[in-house]
Structure 1
Amino acid sequence: MKITKILNNNAVVVMDKNEEKIAIGGGVGFNKGKNDIVNNAKIEKLFVLKENEKLQRLFARIPEEHILIAEEIIAYAEEMLNTKLDEHIRLALTDHISFAIEREKKGIHLRNKLLQEVKVLYKKEFEIGLWALDHVEEKLQIRMPIDEAAFIALHIHAMKIQGGDLHEIVRLTSILKDMVQTINDDLDITVEEDDIAYERLITHLRFAIMRLNSNELHTMDEEMFKMMKKKFTLSFNCAKKVADKLDTEHGITLPEEELGYITLHIERLRSLQS
């Protein structure tokens, strides 16, 4: 394979079987020039992407170690999740990791308002995010805040084959946070974010919304539903406020049967406060 462009010491553009690819590896571009033969033994990653030009521009302007760290995080994520991530992860996560490292050097800390929700909803991805923080610290002696683990988790979840769009995932997670805040405000309680009842609630709320998108609805016996409305009046009224806000602010309408299940979760939270 011949080198067609040097991006930096650890990344070059090569021509492989009449196809332009990016080769990554320690020292793969060191003391090399255009039309030189690449040392195959130094190539750790070789890939062609739809976003090849964007990736070339990114690799040319960020430190080499950031590229390799991002590659190692991606490889670890794919191993832990036992799945191949969408190819866009290479551009999105590398750019994010590099920017986050530079922010940390300048003492700029971005708070992730969805930290607790991400920890509950995307546990495996969040664990990978924590590993990534340790990995960055090991390689660069820079410790990034735990908020970054949640940002990394969101990127990874979005790039799973069935993950979905990052913006939509962030939107859903924000909606869930608002729903929990409505419960807190209405009942004048503080939901402990490390409590199993909180995990059950937010997981149920998430799947309630997802079921609407796939037209899969929970059904509840009518007599049971009536009994719950009467027995757990405060919790049901709170669930109704959550549903009303969801409808008004986000255009998402929950069926009454779903309110019954949400009522049970809210009642559980209330009982833990007393």
Structure 2
Amino acid sequence: MRIQKKLNNNVVVVKDGAIEKIVMGRGLAFNKKNGEEVDEAIIDKVFTLSNKDTANKFQELIVDIPIDHVEIAEQIISYAKTQLGKKLNETLYISLVDHIYTAIERFLNGIVISNTLLWDIRRFYPDEFAIGLTALDMIEERFGLHLPDDEAGFIALHLVNAEIDENSVKNMYQITKVMQEVTSIVKYKFHIEFDEDNVYYYRFITHLKFFAQRLLSGTSYEDEKDDDLLNVVKKRYENAYSCVKAISKFIFEKYAYILSNEEELYLTIHIERVINKMSKY
């Protein structure tokens, strides 16, 4: 296998015959150049993603993420496939790697976000939640960090989302319409065009999908413990929060749906992140 592109010292894109693969191993690309052979003896993981768009986003994401975090996410996905016996969308490699990384970073910085969907997740998705709990055990064994059960719920949601065959979801058109409306407000507010191939845009859109699903089902979640955090975020990210208030007004007028504090909090954070990243390109 020859190196086609170096992502960092531990991750490279290779061509194995006609097949493009993402290969991981500690020090795999150190002092290596494109076109050189990889040392197969130190390869730890090989990812073969059939969807080129997903593969590109995965490559972009893992550039700045520690190899340990990618490996534990892949271990969780492999376990989930075995336990569920279902085909999981390849985008799970993006969403779960990103979530594991950010969850660990938040925890190490003393930030714990409660999952107000936790009770519903336990009830409606018991198999996925059980996998989420096992995932927390895997993380604790590897990193010595005891993450709260809230994170098991978040992991379960990523699994559920990966199980969805979007072509069979009856209200996918409506979900897409809501997502388009919200992104239009953001684009108008900040006078930008999104790079739809960018991983940060993808994270934002994934969040909007969950939001649209709640909106169309008429399910809103409120957690008073998020009030203090929302007050901090709306002061720190004033422009993003102003955009969220415009979205809130539009959603209420068109759908008679009131955004909870938690929804305003997460939307503000996601909008700030995607706008901040877009401005750097």
| CA-CA distance at 1:17 after TM superposition | 2.2
2:7 partner amino acid: L
**Coordinate RMSD, CA, aligned:** 2.8
| CA-CA distance at 1:137 after TM superposition | 0.9
Question: In 1, distance between residues paired with 2:127 and 2:215?
Answer: 16
**Is 1:44 paired with 2:86?**
no
Corresponding residue for residue 144 of structure 1: 147
- Aligned-partner SS, 2:163: coil
Corresponding residue for residue 171 of structure 1: 213
2:105 partner amino acid: E
> Is the CA contact 1:117–1:173 (under 8 Å) kept in the aligned structure 2?
no
Output the TM-score relative to the length of structure 2: 0.57
Question: In 1, distance between residues paired with 2:133 and 2:9?
Answer: 28
Corresponding residue for residue 252 of structure 2: none
* Percent sequence identity over aligned pairs: 40
Corresponding residue for residue 73 of structure 1: 76
**Is 1:85 paired with 2:88?**
yes
**Structure 1 residues 174 and 30: CA distance shift in structure 2, 3 A:** farther
> Is the CA contact 1:78–1:84 (under 8 Å) kept in the aligned structure 2?
yes
2:148 partner amino acid: P
| CA-CA distance at 1:173 after TM superposition | 9.9
Q: How many residues align?
A: 182
Question: In 1, distance between residues paired with 2:68 and 2:5?
Answer: 19
| CA-CA distance at 1:33 after TM superposition | 3.4
**Structure 1 residues 131 and 109: CA distance shift in structure 2, 3 A:** same
Question: In 2, distance between residues paired with 1:98 and 1:16?
Answer: 29
| CA-CA distance at 1:79 after TM superposition | 0.6
**Is 1:24 paired with 2:66?**
no
User: Following superposition of structure 1 onto structure 2, how do residues 153-192 of structure 1 map, counting pairs within 5 Å?
Assistant: 153-160=156-163, 162=165, 167-168=209-210, 171-172=213-214, 175=217
2:140 partner amino acid: E
> Is the CA contact 1:114–1:173 (under 8 Å) kept in the aligned structure 2?
no
Q: Which runs of 5+ in 2 are unaligned?
A: 173-205, 222-254, 258-281
> Is the CA contact 1:8–1:64 (under 8 Å) kept in the aligned structure 2?
no
**Structure 1 residues 153 and 98: CA distance shift in structure 2, 3 A:** same
**Structure 1 residues 29 and 138: CA distance shift in structure 2, 3 A:** farther
User: Following superposition of structure 1 onto structure 2, how do residues 228-243 of structure 1 map, counting pairs within 5 Å?
Assistant: none
**Is 1:134 paired with 2:137?**
yes
Corresponding residue for residue 216 of structure 1: none
Corresponding residue for residue 114 of structure 2: 111
Corresponding residue for residue 3 of structure 2: 3
